[in-house]
Structure 1
Amino acid sequence: MTARHAAAEPARTRDSIDRHILRWEHEVPGLEPDLEGAVTRMQMLVRHLRHEKEAALARHGLKLWEYEILWRLRSAGEPYRMAPTRLARGLGVHPATLTSRLDRLQSAGLITREHTTEDRRSLLVGLTPRGAETWAAVIDDQREAEAGLLAPLTGKQLGDLAALLRVVALAVEEDGPPLMAHLD
């Protein structure tokens, strides 16, 4: 729906983005209402999801960097362990930074650090049962927030939205490595 169409619709079907577009299309020559509406809505929804994630982390007593370490360990698959150098590389942090972070997570009982049986100089970082439970609780909260956000859509609409966003994501990925490479 373009801003012009939004102006003709009853106020209850217009959102804050429609009002934003109506206000700015007079000030910004060439403003494309559908383009502005799509991008601004995506930005707003990402901010909403980020807020929900921060709230879930706070409920479980985690900081984002702590969650990311737990997530990276969980993504390694059973037995949910990996070498600190691989973990640092996957997180994009300096190994010295990771060491202090691991100290804090180990003190909290969320991870272990154990020497490998092959080489006593090598360590493996692993999730504790408490770390795995904490990670799972945050994931459950996020899933609930995401489902709530998209609940107004029918199953078909949700599928259509996913398909449309896939088209855009594929176009972005053609230009280089995906920004979400950390999901692999």
Structure 2
Amino acid sequence: MTVEANMPVDGVEATVRRWRAQRPDLDVSPMSVIGWLTTASNEIERRLAAVLSEYGLQSWEFDVLATLRTDGEPYEMCPGTIGGHLRVSNSAMTNRIKRLEESGLVERHFSPENRRIVIIRLTERGIEVTDRAMDSYLTEGKSALEALSPSETDQLCGLLRKLGTATTSEAE
């Protein structure tokens, strides 16, 4: 990957140029892609975290609430199912659920079919907070992507899906 002459020198491209100068024997081309992915991800995460903080939420809390909300009524799941969706360990889910329960956003109850199974359900307050936060989250997400046309957004999504799928299957 080459840096276009009219592209401003910034942190990512400056780092790539310095590595090329210091180690011309290395193919440093992955650095631009990884650097820009990291930069974009960090900026978008910062913006979304600011939006979620207006609702008293951290991103991990919103992830759990949104997972429950998108499962439909009665907005409940087993902790292991939530963790599977979010790719989070059972022990991490236990801590997350405890904190959300203390905040009054979720409640625990036992499955009527098997009392050994704990079910996590959104409370009315949890539904309301999740819905309001989602509206703001999507508005900010759209704003964060406004530099891209709809076709560029679709193309980027396809490329990231391809990259994420290839990376995930290689790691397994």
TM-score where L is the length of structure 1: 0.71
Q: What residue in structure 2 maps to residue 172 of structure 1?
A: 167
Find 2:89's aligned residue among 78, 89, 92.
Answer: 92
Q: Give me the whole-angstrom Cα distance separating, in 2, the residues matched to 1:85 and 1:167.
A: 27
The alignment status of 1:134 with 2:129, answered yes or no, reads yes
Q: What residue in structure 2 maps to residue 160 of structure 1?
A: 155
Q: Give me the whole-angstrom Cα distance separating, in 1, the residues matched to 2:167 and 2:71.
A: 26
> RMSD of the TM alignment (CA)?
3.0
Q: What residue in structure 1 maps to residue 2 of structure 2?
A: 2
TM-score where L is the length of structure 2: 0.75
1:105-151: per-residue Cα shift (whole Å, max 9, x none)? 33422112234444556542210122122223333333223222221
Q: Give me the whole-angstrom Cα distance separating, in 1, the residues matched to 2:80 and 2:34.
A: 38
Q: What residue in structure 2 maps to residue 14 of structure 1?
A: 8
Find 1:24's aligned residue among 19, 26, 46.
Answer: 19
Q: What residue in structure 1 maps to residue 39 of structure 2?
A: 44
Count of paired positions: 169
List gaps (5 residues or longer) in structure 1.
178-184
Q: Where does 1:68-107 land on structure 2 (aligned, <5 Å)?
A: 68-84=63-79, 86-87=81-82, 91-94=88-91, 98=94, 101-107=96-102
Inter-CA distance 65–163: structure 2 relative to 1 (3 Å threshold): closer
Answer 1 or 2: higher relative contact order, Cα 8 Å, separation at least 6. Answer: 2
Tell me whether 50-59 or 162-171 shows the greater mean CA deviation. Answer: 162-171
> Do the aligned residues in 2 keep the contact of 1:88 with 1:94 (CA within 8 Å)?
no
1:9-64: per-residue Cα shift (whole Å, max 9, x none)? 2xxx4252333333332123245465322221011111112212322232111234
Inter-CA distance 67–152: structure 2 relative to 1 (3 Å threshold): closer
Identity value in percent: 26
List gaps (5 residues or longer) in structure 2.
none
Q: Give me the whole-angstrom Cα distance separating, in 2, the residues matched to 1:135 and 1:15.
A: 40
Supply the AA of the counterpart residue of 2:89: G
Supply the AA of the counterpart residue of 2:16: I
Q: What residue in structure 1 maps to residue 48 of structure 2?
A: 53
Q: Give me the whole-angstrom Cα distance separating, in 2, the residues matched to 1:25 and 1:68.
A: 40
1:80-126: per-residue Cα shift (whole Å, max 9, x none)? 1123454466641328x71x654443342211223444455654221
> Do the aligned residues in 2 keep the contact of 1:52 with 1:142 (CA within 8 Å)?
no
